[in-house]
Structure 1
């Protein structure tokens, strides 16, 4: 038997992450790739797996500790020749992300005040006694609280093991707002003409569904909890507009099918999404405001082309990123997409593989549908949604002919992009798919 120190592998761009959960204890028999602890940063929660199988002899960390790449998590007794402890060297992808959203967590709905109205003054939250110990909350909940100015240490968690949930933060906020609203109501029973009414949402309905029939309760997965918060924030705070159009992909699809037949022994299947990624790069070059982000009162225009694509996994939606797509061909993009999608399904995507996108594509082509409104992946300012292509009659000037048409749904941030630019982007994107030779021009 030999003793092996299990270390934290490469966890991406994070200097330190906090330990929020211990998944094993001394004496446990563990397998290779079995999760040992859960750590979190401000972007993701990750489960750190073991690179060896054996019996846990000693835990070297506890909840609340900060760890980084190379930190020793535990000592493991493994089968093999006796000798001094040797450090494990897991790969960069060994840390399995539980959730790493491409966009930031959600903020609650806010009502825009009419022009010229003075927003109601909300009294600052008075500090209260902090709860003992480390607040137990996911990265999305922590960021949600930061954006609202909520002191997370003063929020009482109602989730499993006292975990603080989004509902807990919202309840804390409602409690503070309730006092503010009462003060305002007493000060001004009859608002002056043209003044803005304070936000006064009805509480979420509490219903005993069981009284209507049999029900089953099921915990949301961690990825869905975090991505749900992201989608909430993005939908509420970004003024979405969606343009719908169609691209004629008749010749492109015929070429794709023929190419795959001629290269079936290579093991690489070229997908339509790979062509769309290349078309996206060309469109972003022509319309650079679509490859941008808002930073305060400035617009950050990006000179790199990292394209995210939505990957459906058993645990929820994840968005891997093809980096430097402008420097890669269709075959290489298809290969990288297949590898990243497999990692996503297996829960092996590293945080760095889900960050940095300037534009995203959400494809439902393998499922169906006609059009939809994809939600922008903040801090991006646009996202392309595509549905299943279908044969449709198209007029060629003399007669109707069958053409394979791909539905496009472009959602864009109206703070950055206007309708004319969005229409031109969609038309240009469709023209590239109709004739990929345009990319060479």
Structure 2
């Protein structure tokens, strides 16, 4: 056998000791360059460790549950050229043909159902099956109400757990604020949730807050046998949908959202954009590029929007990393364009195209989605007049953009036909008040209406 080469964990940003949640290949599998070998899940994202070259997997060095960091060895792979060449001494002893690539597990971890994750311990099996029980059994096996207390909504008091653990806890009806984490830095693991359930079944669970004390008791999610009313089809959510769904539910419940609406006159901007596109046919210049530059200018003028809550402190950031919501077949992801204040329109346009393609090809890493200061969600290419985007914690604001339309605008003497762009700014009311939000969107509209303001 030829010399084997190591496949290691690439740069994954600041993440360390990230657990392996799924093995995508087995020894003997034929892999192509960039094909996923294992899936890692951090607190922020799920990512694959890609094969660095074509070849045959000869040995896996990890198992589900192992914690890896940048540079950790994942597998030993025999390069494709070496694998194809028969040994000179004993041709008959050449390795048996590897299984066809089609038999290998699908490389896209986000498309795999949650059932691929390790099964929970046997003890809490009965509670875990409760959400899937028949409707006739729902009254006796429904999840208990989850109590939300106003004081517990501050970031410093949010239970430290990964999205997968939060999903697992919700399926069992467990309030994570009552669970003590045993992992590093007090992080709550699945084992901690299972131990809490065992204690509750044995009569030792902590009591839940009940109404009257300022908390909100949520009744169980309704259980309905939809097949009674007509034909149905059940499809599992993608991994991205599960993770983003948990984050969105948390952000909506924990952040007091308010949305400010405004319109920006982009008639001149659109004319300039088209001219710029004609002069640079190799680069697609979209309106989103101008929105990024305008957002940076607004963040500089109103620094409270470029901040994050940290307990009782407000962290004001001196850098400008802009998150861009990208729609993919498996769900919504938000890659980050770094140092947007230091880049020109054409450079931003090129980077935006590259990172959007990377998102749709499922090649984003955790590092690609970290460090955002402010997010933009654009539905202008689809339609709509306004919407309420959900803030991407720990950010304090997000800008939603809808489809532009020609509208009559009074210029003091008569009506002019102008191209107007609807803006929807959702903001965290704990940090930003309504007057500041109105000033922010008004300034943003001014910049988009007169790009010369970017030079000020």
Task: Give the TM-score category using the shorter length.
Answer: 0.7 to 0.9
What is the aligned partner in structure 2 of residue 201 from structure 1?
A: 218
**What pairs with 1:349-388 in structure 2 (closer than 5 Å)?**
349-388=364-403
Q: Please, which moves more after superposition, 62-71 or 231-240?
A: 62-71
- Residue pair 2:148, 2:215 contacting (<8 A) in 1 also: no
- Residue pair 2:37, 2:49 contacting (<8 A) in 1 also: yes
SS at match of 1:362: strand
- Residue pair 1:381, 1:412 contacting (<8 A) in 2 also: yes
Q: Deviations over 1:139-195 (max 9, x none)?
A: 654899896242579xxxxxxxxx969x9999999989997369x79xxxxxxxxx5
Q: TM-score w.r.t. structure 1 length?
A: 0.78
Return the offset for 1:136. Answer: 11
- Residue pair 1:42, 1:143 contacting (<8 A) in 2 also: no
Q: Deviations over 1:269-320 (max 9, x none)?
A: 1111111111111111111101111111111111111111111111111111
Q: Partners in 1 of 2:354 and 2:67 — Cα distance?
A: 31
SS at match of 1:380: coil
- Residue pair 1:307, 1:360 contacting (<8 A) in 2 also: yes
Higher relative helix content: 2
Higher relative contact order (CA 8 A, sep 6+): 1
Find out whether 1:259 has 2:276 as its counterpart.
yes
Return the offset for 1:43. Answer: 2.1
- Cα distance, 1:270–1:173 mapped onto 2, change above 3 Å: farther
Return the offset for 1:37. Answer: 1.2
Return the offset for 1:377. Answer: 0.8
Q: Partners in 2 of 1:362 and 1:74 — Cα distance?
A: 38
Q: Partners in 2 of 1:150 and 1:346 — Cα distance?
A: 38
What is the aligned partner in structure 2 of residue 418 from structure 1?
A: 433
SS at match of 2:76: strand
- Cα distance, 1:358–1:350 mapped onto 2, change above 3 Å: same
Determine which of 280, 283, 290 is the counterpart of 1:275.
290
What is the aligned partner in structure 2 of residue 427 from structure 1?
A: 442
SS at match of 2:216: coil
After the TM superposition, list the runs of 4 or more consecutive aligned residues in structure 1 that deviate by more than 4 angstroms: 95-99, 139-147, 167-179
Return the offset for 1:330. Answer: 0.8
SS at match of 1:385: strand
Find out whether 1:138 has 2:138 as its counterpart.
no
- Cα distance, 1:366–1:109 mapped onto 2, change above 3 Å: farther
Return the offset for 1:437. Answer: 0.5
- Residue pair 1:44, 1:139 contacting (<8 A) in 2 also: no
What is the aligned partner in structure 2 of residue 230 from structure 1?
A: 247
Return the offset for 1:321. Answer: 1.0
- Cα distance, 1:147–1:431 mapped onto 2, change above 3 Å: farther
- Residue pair 1:47, 1:98 contacting (<8 A) in 2 also: no
Residue ranges of structure 2 left out of the alignment (5+ in a row): 88-106, 112-145, 152-160, 183-188
Q: Partners in 1 of 2:305 and 2:32 — Cα distance?
A: 46
**What pairs with 1:292-371 in structure 2 (closer than 5 Å)?**
292-371=307-386
SS at match of 1:138: helix
What is the aligned partner in structure 2 of residue 160 from structure 1?
A: none
What is the aligned partner in structure 1 of residue 148 from structure 2?
A: 110
- Cα distance, 1:96–1:213 mapped onto 2, change above 3 Å: closer
Q: Deviations over 1:182-241 (max 9, x none)?
A: 9x79xxxxxxxxx53653322111111011111111110001101011111111111110
Return the offset for 1:71. Answer: 2.2
Find out whether 1:215 has 2:232 as its counterpart.
yes
Residue ranges of structure 1 left out of the alignment (5+ in a row): 84-94, 100-107, 114-134, 154-162, 186-194
- Residue pair 2:266, 2:449 contacting (<8 A) in 1 also: yes
What is the aligned partner in structure 1 of residue 12 from structure 2?
A: 11
Report the aligned-residue RMSD: 3.4
Return the offset for 1:138. Answer: 2.7
SS at match of 2:248: helix
- Residue pair 2:5, 2:79 contacting (<8 A) in 1 also: yes
What is the aligned partner in structure 2 of residue 148 from structure 1?
A: 177
SS at match of 1:203: coil
Q: Partners in 2 of 1:317 and 1:64 — Cα distance?
A: 27
Q: Partners in 1 of 2:162 and 2:345 — Cα distance?
A: 44
Q: Please, which moves more after superposition, 314-323 or 197-206?
A: 197-206
- Residue pair 2:196, 2:205 contacting (<8 A) in 1 also: no
Return the offset for 1:97. Answer: 8.1
Return the offset for 1:352. Answer: 1.4
Q: Partners in 2 of 1:397 and 1:209 — Cα distance?
A: 58
Q: Please, which moves more after superposition, 16-25 or 195-204?
A: 195-204
What is the aligned partner in structure 2 of residue 59 from structure 1?
A: 60
